[in-house]
Amino acid sequence: MGKPTGFIEYLRELPADRAPLERVRDWDEFHLHLPEDKLRSQGARCMDCGVPFCHTGTLISGMASGCPINNLIPEWNDLVYRGLWKEALERLHKTNNFPEFTGRVCPAPCEGSCVLGINAPPVTIKNIEVSIIDKGWDEGWVKPEPPEKRTGKTIAVIGSGPAGLCAAAQLNKAGHSVTVFERADRPGGLLMYGIPNMKLDKNEVVLRRTKLMEQEGVKFVCNTEVGTNYAAEKLLADFDAVVLATGATKPRDLPIEGRPLKGVHFAMEFLTANTKSILDSHKNGDFIDATGKDVVIIGGGDTGTDCVGTSMRHGCRSLVQVEILPKPPMDRAGDNPWPEWPKTYKLDYGQEEAAAKFGDDPRVYVTTATKFEGDETGHVKAVHTVQVEWTRNDKGQFVPQNIPGTERVVPAQLVLLAMGFLGPEQPLLDALKIERDARSNVKADYGKYRTSIDKVFAAGDCRRGQSLVVWAFNEGREAARECDRWLMGSTDLP
């Protein structure tokens, strides 16, 4: 490193976000950038640790430790410190096709395993990453790079989310002719409709990248659902290989009394319709409005937070987020040591906005919903909740048990279910007659990605289950490598 004592001399510093009560008035991104001199100082904090863990990308206790796509983090931190931004961008693009996505929405497992983080605040890796790529776009360094020659092989990628986009980009780079099928009206999958605009701008960030991919030769076919309005048999007949990257979009439901009431929706119904209304500049028939309503969000995680932030921008009257797990500790617990992902409390952007308006974090912990109560028109008007305690059952598993006397009735005219996903939707997999595992995911070994059908590969959440965007990047890139190897007998893809 150019500054071996940087981690001693400089404190961790992040740019201030836009003020919560200001940013809830619009759908613009809320993150700001540090000036270049401060970014260089933050790069100098990367401490020449000798054995960096930030780019290892391993699973510890079931969670990512380090970067799953093995970003060359110490290298580009050093280059930023030296002011060599273009060289830093080249290093970043060696392992990451779309750093403008991960730099905005990845939870940064790299920072959780930063060696400096053992006894000090870790390096601001995520912020440096997004600053590199944004500067690259601003300076005009990110340009179309179509392959010099084509192989004559045709490949279909089903799904244009993070795994599909990475697979398409890599296979196109190898010279294959790639067609990406997307059932929505715009490419991007989860990146387009599953993440709100204030976290990831659709026109300035997502569509900018997909348009560049089109200039490089990737073909996007939207409004096309393979297995429904495009026959699965035709897919297999028309292409030399297929990569399934459909995601895990089957939501977990909550089948309690009152579930059929109007006003109870899955989170993705709410988020998708909202983003579509922003892009189309009008509220279509699917739009779900939180304006002036008491909103209850059931489930934590990023999706729950996005529902909070979206409801705040609609102008909800009140907001409660129900979380069945206990409140995390402020610091690492003894059974959560470095370099594991730190399971600690944080006030994410949506909860920060709710706290600024209503006075407190909207989350209530160790609580579950027991009943949705309706009015005389069949619309939800309240959620009945109860506190739980986690105890071991006769099999030694931790399960929640209701605590008598802790019942509560929360007013709600809008309930959003954000409890995660159960796996991929099955119609296409049924049509292809692809073998699945015990969790209904496509059965394909990690590292090989080949399904039970000869020329069909699978990557991302449809193979591994609900996971991080950066794991989808990992699988999309690796599936492209194995698909290229299968087609050509060898591969130069990383």
What is the mean predicted confidence (pLDDT) over 81-93? 98
Statement: residue 1 has pLDDT above 80: no
Orientation of helix 267-280 relative to helix 301-314, angle to 10° = 50
Phi, psi of 5 (to 5 degrees): -105, 10
- On the CB side of 139, CA atoms within 13 Å amount to 11
350 dihedral zone (left: phi>0; alpha: psi -120 to 50; beta): alpha
DSSP 8-state code for residue 413: S
Res 285: pLDDT: 72
The answer to whether the beta carbons of residues 417 and 267 sit under 8 Å apart is yes
Q: Let me know how long the chain is.
A: 494
Res 396: pLDDT: 86
- How do 58-60 and 63-65 pair as beta strands? antiparallel
Phi, psi of 175 (to 5 degrees): 100, 0
What is the mean predicted confidence (pLDDT) over 61-84? 95
Res 211: pLDDT: 98
| CA distances (Å), origin 151, targets 172, 189, 370, 476, 484 | 10, 28, 58, 20, 10
Nearest-10 Cα torsion for 146, 147, 148, 153:
-130
CATH number of 6-139: 1.10.1060.10
Q: How far apart are CA 449 and CA 167, in angstroms?
A: 12
Statement: residue 3 has pLDDT above 90: no
The residues near 173 (Cβ < 8 Å, ≥ 6 apart) are 145, 147, 493
The residues near 346 (Cβ < 8 Å, ≥ 6 apart) are none
pTM over 0.85: yes
The residues near 11 (Cβ < 8 Å, ≥ 6 apart) are 121
The residues near 313 (Cβ < 8 Å, ≥ 6 apart) are 24, 25, 26, 27, 198
263 dihedral zone (left: phi>0; alpha: psi -120 to 50; beta): left
- On the CB side of 200, CA atoms within 13 Å amount to 26
What is the mean predicted confidence (pLDDT) over 399-425? 96
Statement: residue 286 has pLDDT above 90: no
The answer to whether the beta carbons of residues 163 and 245 sit under 8 Å apart is yes
User: How many angstroms from the chain centroid is the CA of residue 1?
Assistant: 31
Res 480: pLDDT: 98
Lowest-confidence region among 10-24, 49-63, 101-115: 49-63
Statement: residue 2 has pLDDT above 90: no
Reported as type and span, the H/E element at residue 303 is: helix 301-314
Res 485: pLDDT: 98
Q: How far apart are CA 170 and CA 250, in angstroms?
A: 27
- In DSSP terms, 404 is beta-bridged to none
Res 282: pLDDT: 82
Res 281: pLDDT: 87
What is the mean predicted confidence (pLDDT) over 15-43? 96
- Split at pLDDT 50, 70, 90, the class of 48 is confident
End-to-end CA distance of the chain: 26
What does the pLDDT look like over 178-208, one tens digit per residue?
A: 999 999 999 999 999 999 999 999 999 999 9
CATH number of 154-249+422-488: 3.50.50.60
E strands, 240-303, in order: 241-244, 250-251, 264-266, 294-298
What is the mean predicted confidence (pLDDT) over 65-71? 96
What does the pLDDT look like over 365-403, one tens digit per residue?
A: 999 999 999 999 999 999 999 999 999 998 889 999 999
Q: How far apart are CA 194 and CA 276, in angstroms?
A: 11
Q: How far apart are CA 166 and CA 174, in angstroms?
A: 12
- In DSSP terms, 364 is beta-bridged to 322
Instruction: Write out the residue limits of the CATH 3.50.50.60 domain(s) in the chain.
Output: 154-249+422-488, 253-419
Place domain 253-419 in its CATH homologous superfamily: FAD/NAD(P)-binding domain (3.50.50.60)
The answer to whether the beta carbons of residues 44 and 4 sit under 8 Å apart is no
Res 395: pLDDT: 87
Instruction: Write out the residue limits of the CATH 1.10.1060.10 domain(s) in the chain.
Output: 6-139
